[in-house]
Amino acid sequence: MLAFAASRAARGPRKRGLFRMANKDDRLPDNAAGKWFVDSSCIDCDVCRTTAPNNFKANEDEGYSFVSKQPENPEETSQCEEAKASCPVEAIGDDGA
Ligand code: SF4
């Protein structure tokens, strides 16, 4: 737990609010290269991993999700778009390329 708290603190304060967008300059290092990414505001709620299981995975040690694989077909793209729309803290972006 201490390691998680220290890691979270190192990533800086979370930004939440109606006008927040995922910040590509704050993308987590685990993300697969490409336009889809998760930034450090992720709260590890599991929504994206459930919605787009082919493309999102958990970093269980650090307590966040990341894009494990960029979408490669229309179905995966649709699932990623749904995950982005459903993320409660708008931590998912698709403008990272
Ligand atoms: S839906 Fe958002 S907050 Fe939840 S695990 Fe995925 S990126 Fe993190």
Closest by CA to 37, choosing from 64, 66, 80, 13, is 66
Q: What is the pTM of this model?
A: 0.83
Among protein residues, the one with the nearest Cα to ligand 1's atom 2 is 87
Longest alpha-carbon distance in the chain: 41
Closest by CA to 79, choosing from 89, 70, 91, is 70
Buried/exposed 37-63: b ≥16 CB within 10 Å, e otherwise: bbbbbbbbeebbbebbeebbbbbeebb
**CB distance 46 to ligand 1 below 6 Å:** yes
CATH of 2-11+22-93, one of 3.30.750.210, 3.60.15.10, 3.30.70.20, 3.40.50.970: 3.30.70.20
* Nearest atom of ligand 1 to the alpha carbon of 38: 7
* Nearest atom of ligand 1 to the alpha carbon of 89: 3
**Tens digit of pLDDT per residue, the chain (97 long)?**
445 444 544 555 455 555 689 999 999 999 999 999 999 999 999 999 999 999 999 999 999 999 999 999 999 999 999 999 999 999 999 998 7
CA distance 90 to 83: 10
Separation of CA 84 and ligand 1 centre (Å): 8
Q: Give the residue extent of every domain in the chain.
A: 2-11+22-93
